[in-house]
Amino acid sequence: MKHSVMTGRPMRPRVPQALIAAGLLVLACLLPSTSSAAEASELSKESVACLKCHDKPGMEKALENGEKLSLHVSTQEYADSMHNETNCEDCHADLDAKSHGKVKTAIKSKRDFAHSMRETCRDCHKKKFTQYDDSVHAALVKDGSKKAPLCADCHNPHTQRSVKIVEPIAATPCAACHEAIFKAYTTDVHGLARAAKGKTAPLCAGCHKAHEVKAASLGEGAKDSCLACHKDAVDQHKGWLPNTGLHFEAISCPACHAPAAHRRVNLRLYDGPAAAKKQISEKRGVPQFVARTRAADANNLGLDERALLSLLKEFNQEGDDSKAVLRGRLEVRTGVEAHQLSDKSKAIKDCDTCHRAGAEAFQSVSLTIAGADGRPLRHGVQKEVLTSLQSMESVRGFYAIGSTRIKLLDTLLILVVLGSIGGPLAHMTTKWLFKRFREKQAAEQRAAELLAASQAAAAVPGNRDDVPN
């Protein structure tokens, strides 16, 4: 054995670098296998048996439309998922152990396969399905939309983890369909707060709900979501905003808190008083709405005040007990703009933004009804409707001083003000001008009365000087 010249200690034989590298490579290959085996021990025997084949990357099935359906299921990811206690056969009950892999199963497309598995999800998640069935997503599915999300579009059944564990801003399924909106969200006040503070800041489901999501452009859902977190918003606005309640009723939150957004007046068609907040739905509304708006606006120039009033009268002549009314709201024009919220210090507080002649927000007007798929159905309305005396009955309660000024009303208001001020002034002026005339008239009247009295006294016998003694 060789010894070191400097220390005199025996020198260890050098291990070739190639041998070390090979050993590390073998170890790296063994580690995942060991981990998978440990994870697999937590799964049922049935699931382990299935994963022996399906835990092979690249495993797939050719579908009738030419698509490739991945059959690969990672043992580790499945063991970490919420379904790790569920046997494969619990969901894939149609597969027979004897024929599986030997008999080909015809599947038209990935969409058809996801549709077929939806009812399997319902077996365990009945409560979630009750919420989902009343959502805009379910309405889109019923309407035949090919893009409407199914269970598997948002939840991978083999990898789904608890939302309490996973930070969803990096993996929220909403971004897959609403890419532009999600991109806007990541740079607005909520998205930045989410990235900085984590789950204390709202994500998609926090405002729009998860399974019972509604069309944001319908009803009061969005505003109610805002107030659910910002409970003191109304009181804070009362400190500087006149008629706070009216503003909260007629203006959506993003209209002021997304200062760069373009705004419009949205006239929503309601069944019954506006306070009922029940929009006319597809059951009786959509066919009539489409037919009547097209007939009234053949040139697609927008409904004028006569057409709008006529449309309301037609809805109210259908024998319904309730009365169709319009309710106006100031809103941003697009969903992307609604998710470009800024810090409250940058929110619009300048009254002139809306309350001035020709304000941008009142240059675009639309009539809205709840469509068959839960989304809004719109038709353009001429902006002059907001300044027409004839449309006051149909567009009730939406008169913004300065921006939607009706000239005749302004004239009448001026006359009323002048009358209330000018009446007393005219009375006082007239009284002063005719004071001397009244005094002269009164003096003449007193002189006449004295003369009459004197003449009457002279006419009495015994009082005349020419009577003989």
Other C-beta atoms closer than 10 Å to the C-beta of 438 total: 10
11 contact partners, CB below 8 Å, separation of at least 6 = 1, 2, 3, 4
Please check the confidence at residue 125 and state whether its pLDDT lies above 90.
Answer: yes
pTM above 0.75, yes or no: no
The pLDDT of residue 380 is above 70:
yes
Interatomic CA distance for residues 127 and 65, integer angstroms: 34
Q: How many residues does the chain have?
A: 469
Q: Six-digit token pair at 19? A: 């041998």
Lowest pLDDT segment from 189-198, 270-279, 322-331, 366-375 = 270-279
Tens of pLDDT along 89-114?
A: 899 988 887 888 777 888 999 999 99
| Extents of the domains making up the chain | 221-412
Query: HSE (CB half, 13 Å, CA atoms) of 369?
Result: 23
Q: Which of 38-52, 69-83, 154-168, 386-400 has the highest mean pLDDT?
A: 69-83
pLDDT at 230: 92
